[in-house]
Structure 1
Amino acid sequence: MIERVVVGLMSGTSLDGVDAACCLIRRDGKTIRDYDVTVESFVTREYDPDFRERLERVCSDGGTVAEACRLNVELGAVFADAAVAAASAANRELATVDAIGSHGQTVRHEPEPRSLPVGDERRRSTLQIGDGSYIAERTGVTTVADFRTADVAVGGHGAPLVPFADLALLADDESFRVAQNIGGIGNCTALPPGAGRDDVTAFDTGPGNMVIDGVVELLTGGERTYDRDGRMAREGTVDEDVLEDALDEAYFRAEPPKSTGREQFGRGYAREFVATCRDRNRSDADIVATATALTARSIADAYERFLSEEPDEIVVSGGGAYNATLLDMLGAEVDAPVRTIDEYGVGSDTKEAAAFALLAAAALDGVPNNVPGATGADRPVVMGKRCPPT
């Protein structure tokens, strides 16, 4: 048996902070499902408002290359401090931590292939910041970072990456489970009974919390950045006409593999969404309710369009798992029980950070850690650049 202590770091499209999970990872066998993950601690480091604004500006094309360069290092420092805090919370000395796995912060993700400057070759592109070498130097721990680019290099989207962890944590020999993460973006992993790597289907379903959060922030003048427990949405009425128009977006009809992000469903989308609802004299609560329904119905619509059969259960993780109104709306749209991943021994908040701990462990083991059926890659590859401390 191989046993490693790995801290996983995740900063998502919501831009609210970095999550860090210190994990004990065991591997007893040669398949993905032979990995076992125990989360020993979990901490979150929220970004202060000014830092978050700088990140959002860079992520929305409003920043400069110089600013992205500075944030690359500054984020490395924030990530390193979060990793140290997670190890401390697990009563681990840094010397006993085998690796840090860092997703980084996505500042640009272009899943549609573009022509390269020379020749006829076309490639997708993606860019994450939060320098792995800086994290390694600041902590003294080997850091595995920049996972997405290896998948993109072999023709994939570089997303979603969490299906590797979904397969290890949630695959079952009897049930057809769908792991539904609702972070800034929603993504699902379909796990048929007895699934292995080649049996998995996964893709981004569309907006998760991103449109909801963006709408709430705009409506409250920045006083709130999310709808706590779905309280605003629960007080409102869904505008079905606005919802149906929104669901006519081409992304929802596109066949997997597919991925999306802030470029499509970010601040500009939220502004247009609010303006459309205002033109129809909708209240603030109605607008939030309609944005919440967009997430729920787009998820259900994705299952109906793209899954081979109806799931036996849906396992939700991410911040959306704490939005009771969203879960109720999703439950009303699907014919399967909706549960949270907490029922399976992993916290809803911790799953993505734990996933990057697992991805880093696999990289150190030399185990291919992408899922081509999810990303569209030509073949399995080992993702993640290893950055040892000097």
Structure 2
Amino acid sequence: MLHKLLTVTSKPERIGIGIMSGTSVDGVDVAIVSVRGSGEELTYRQLAFDTVDIPQALRQQIFKQFNPEESSVDKLCSLNVEIGQLFSTAARTVVEKAGLRIEDIDFIGSHGQTIYHIPVDQHDTGLVKSTMQIGEASVLAEVFQCPVVSDFRVRDMAAGGEGAPLVPYVDHLLFRSDTENIALQNIGGIGNVTYLPKGGTTSDVIAFDTGPGNMIMDEAMNILTQGKSLFDKNGELAAEGTVHHGILKEWMDHPYFTLPVPKSTGRELFGAAFTRKLVDRMLEMGLSKADILATVTMFTAITIADQTKQFLPGEIDTLVVSGGGAYNATLLRFLMELGGFAVKTQEDLGFSSESKEAVAFAILANETLFGVPNNLPTATGAARQVVLGKLTV
């Protein structure tokens, strides 16, 4: 396998797979890319992309591990391998659908499934800054017989960072502009923004988590439909409702929104327990389902507009939205009403909103194989640039 690693890095063009399962746990994203070069000289082509469903029983088990009161070490141990097997099956499926062979794959970058993320030391509980992503990379390495880079976040945390966000390094490589200030807003379970000032270098990039993305909207839909619908397709129900601005002002008092950047967050702050309180409160106030969805959708839009206004040093010329939120027409409309800037999607630029993060982890893995530092201290708070990930060969 070490011989294969040397062979892979000597190739002028490499075929890699990026695998991503986000905080929403709504599917395994698999992107297949062809990559040339590394660092500022890197170019890539997307060869294939698909999202493979996560079986509902497995999804329920994963959600139990998010809750310290339900998590168990034996199930966590087992899930690490089960998710590795799921990733392997998903990757093999996409490879075959693309008309490729397992032997064609030169490397894999797997983000894993985040189980818990503690971005800063918690002195009141004694918990130290740490993060856990599972999905055993050895399973992927055995199935594909190629180098696998995984567990990207912990090296940044060891260097003093929060381990997130990591995609801004790739954003800089692919989207930097000499003529525009670009903000790239990913709206997955959590929202995160990357700011690329025109003509800037990696040291000028600013990135951080803006707060909830789809997470609260999805959980609210789950609660209101008693599990029959897991998300508000295209924001259709929210479009029928009326936003309750009074309660939004209360929600914006959450301490996360005044924390300085760089910062990151997750399900630990804005997950099911948080959403249940919001929904129960609105039901007590007599809000309809549509009004509740409209209000939580506006909450995501307002947090994005507020956080970019507070913490970005310059005006935004264009906000480019990716992730599942890019397909929520009501959310995009709210953003356009609030922002005062052009709102585009990845598709408007010839890219894919769905595949962006999976592509990013393939590119991050490529950089790791070449020993190129691939975190951005301005985004994560790390003391220095480091090479991310653990290599399984």
1:56 aligns with 2:63: yes
TM-score, normalised via structure 1 length: 0.95
For 2:376 and 2:106, how far apart are their aligned partners in 1? 24
The aligned counterpart of 1:367 is: 372
The aligned counterpart of 1:41 is: 48
Check the 8 A contact 1:362/1:368 in 2, yes or no.
yes
For 1:7 and 1:327, how far apart are their aligned partners in 2? 30
The aligned counterpart of 1:259 is: 264
Check the 8 A contact 2:118/2:128 in 1, yes or no.
no
Check the 8 A contact 1:76/1:135 in 2, yes or no.
yes
Check the 8 A contact 1:123/1:155 in 2, yes or no.
no
Q: 1:312 to 1:117 in 2, by over 3 A?
A: closer
How far the C-alpha of 1:344 sits from its partner, in A, is 2.0
The aligned counterpart of 1:157 is: 162
How far the C-alpha of 1:33 sits from its partner, in A, is 3.4
How far the C-alpha of 1:114 sits from its partner, in A, is 4.2
Deviates further, 77-86 or 285-294: 77-86
The aligned counterpart of 1:334 is: 339
For 1:231 and 1:285, how far apart are their aligned partners in 2? 9
1:76-113 CA-partner distances (Å, limit 9, x unpaired): 00101122122223322221211110000000000122
Q: 2:111 aligns with which of 100, 103, 106?
A: 103
The aligned counterpart of 2:18 is: 8
Check the 8 A contact 1:206/1:252 in 2, yes or no.
yes
For 1:115 and 1:68, how far apart are their aligned partners in 2? 25
Q: 1:141 aligns with which of 141, 146, 151?
A: 146
The aligned counterpart of 1:71 is: 79
1:281 aligns with 2:286: yes
Check the 8 A contact 1:103/1:146 in 2, yes or no.
yes
The unaligned stretches of length 5 or more in structure 1 are none
TM-score, normalised via structure 2 length: 0.94
Q: Which amino acid in structure 2 is aligned with residue 46 of structure 1?
A: D
1:272 aligns with 2:277: yes
Identity rate, percent:
45
Matches within 5 A, 1:194-273: 194-273=199-278
The aligned counterpart of 2:358 is: 353
1:298 aligns with 2:308: no
Check the 8 A contact 2:103/2:144 in 1, yes or no.
no
How far the C-alpha of 1:117 sits from its partner, in A, is 12
Q: 2:390 aligns with which of 380, 385, 389?
A: 385
The unaligned stretches of length 5 or more in structure 2 are 1-10
How far the C-alpha of 1:57 sits from its partner, in A, is 0.6
The aligned counterpart of 1:22 is: 32
For 2:125 and 2:271, how far apart are their aligned partners in 1? 28
How far the C-alpha of 1:317 sits from its partner, in A, is 0.3
Secondary structure (helix, strand or coil) at the match of 1:127 reads: strand
How far the C-alpha of 1:178 sits from its partner, in A, is 0.2
Q: Which amino acid in structure 2 is aligned with residue 357 of structure 1?
A: A
Q: Which amino acid in structure 2 is aligned with residue 54 of structure 1?
A: Q
Secondary structure (helix, strand or coil) at the match of 1:66 reads: helix
For 1:60 and 1:327, how far apart are their aligned partners in 2? 31
Secondary structure (helix, strand or coil) at the match of 1:158 reads: coil
1:260-281 CA-partner distances (Å, limit 9, x unpaired): 0000000001100101111211
Check the 8 A contact 1:114/1:123 in 2, yes or no.
yes
How far the C-alpha of 1:343 sits from its partner, in A, is 2.0
Q: Which amino acid in structure 2 is aligned with residue 85 of structure 1?
A: T
How far the C-alpha of 1:379 sits from its partner, in A, is 0.4
1:17-73 CA-partner distances (Å, limit 9, x unpaired): 11000001112xx6x432222111001111122111110010122221111111100
How far the C-alpha of 1:123 sits from its partner, in A, is 4.8
Check the 8 A contact 1:7/1:86 in 2, yes or no.
no
The aligned counterpart of 2:6 is: none
Q: 1:180 aligns with which of 182, 185, 202?
A: 185
How far the C-alpha of 1:2 sits from its partner, in A, is 3.7
Deviates further, 123-132 or 317-326: 123-132
For 1:305 and 1:188, how far apart are their aligned partners in 2? 13
How far the C-alpha of 1:116 sits from its partner, in A, is 12
Secondary structure (helix, strand or coil) at the match of 2:235 reads: helix
How far the C-alpha of 1:140 sits from its partner, in A, is 1.8
1:88 aligns with 2:96: yes
For 1:233 and 1:169, how far apart are their aligned partners in 2? 33
Q: 1:249 to 1:174 in 2, by over 3 A?
A: same
Check the 8 A contact 2:180/2:197 in 1, yes or no.
yes
Check the 8 A contact 1:60/1:262 in 2, yes or no.
no
Secondary structure (helix, strand or coil) at the match of 1:10 reads: strand
Q: Which amino acid in structure 2 is aligned with residue 255 of structure 1?
A: P
